[in-house]
């Protein structure tokens, strides 16, 4: 069984993520520099033991940027869906797991977790959009090895609405319940930013580095 000392992590560089902050957070969580591969090379993705997909910006532009890298989406599908490599999507990287996103029109996502990404519409007018800042994580299951109750940092204007309730792993409150984490099998996506969530985020990433689903 691999562990975080020997396990290589491919951090996908597709021009749509806060790579430096995520890379530094992974290193602070126990990953060695030798085992961190920041890459836009599909072959390196296929060789990695774990995959992290960050994302900042609009759903459509992030998906377009990912598809613009030749063979990257097929490589991700083979590594994650076929080979079962542990996968983490962060913020828009998590939203891309959906069937579609509704930001600036309707756009197709990866379709790994059934659902869609829709605009935040808080019931409380005092809750501003974008949702920005620290919020409590409420677990919908107490059995997932990666998630703990606590407080994490959010910055988003759209939210994942999963089709299957079993894939909704955590929520937060912002004028109503908002998806904080989705997942199934070897796939995990979080709306919060672990790299900005201080000790909560670093502990979460450390558990991801040890995760063997």
Give the catalytic positions in this structure: 91, 193, 195
Contact indicator for 205, 11 with CB cutoff of 8 Å: no
Q: Does residue 191 contact residue 91 with C-beta atoms inside 8 Å?
A: yes
d(CA 90, CA 192) in angstroms, rounded, equals 7
Helix axes 19-28, 198-210, angle to 10 degrees: 70
Q: Please say whether the beta carbons of 139 and 152 come within 8 A.
A: no
DSSP code, position 97: T
Asked if residue 139 has a cis previous peptide bond (ω within 30° of 0), the answer is: no
* β-bridge mates for residue 132, sequence order: 155
Q: Which secondary structure element, helix H or strand E, spans residue 35, and what is its range? A: none
Residue 131 near residue 143, CB atoms below 8 Å: no
């Amino acid at each position: 069984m691999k562990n975080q000392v020997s396990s290589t992590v491919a951090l996908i560089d597709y021009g749509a993520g806060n790579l430096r902050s995520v890379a530094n957070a992974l290193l602070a969580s126990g990953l060695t520099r030798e085992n961190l591969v920041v890459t836009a090379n599909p072959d390196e993705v296929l060789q990695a033991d774990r995959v992290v997909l960050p994302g900042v910006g609009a759903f459509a532009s992030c998906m377009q940027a990912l598809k613009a890298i030749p063979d990257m989406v097929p490589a991700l599908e083979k590594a994650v869906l076929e080979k079962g490599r542990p996968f983490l999507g962060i913020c828009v990287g998590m939203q891309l797991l959906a069937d579609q996103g509704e930001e600036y029109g309707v756009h197709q996502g990866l379709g790994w977790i059934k659902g869609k990404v829709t605009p935040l519409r808080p019931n409380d007018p005092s809750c501003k959009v974008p949702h920005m800042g620290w919020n409590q994580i409420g677990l919908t299951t107490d059995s997932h090895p990666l998630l703990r109750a606590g407080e994490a940092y959010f910055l988003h204007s759209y939210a994942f609405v999963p089709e299957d309730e079993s894939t909704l792993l955590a929520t937060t409150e912002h004028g109503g319940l908002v998806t904080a984490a989705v997942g199934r099998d070897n796939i995990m996506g979080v709306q919060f930013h672990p790299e900005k969530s201080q000790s909560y985020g670093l502990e979460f990433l450390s558990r991801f580095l040890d995760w063997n689903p």
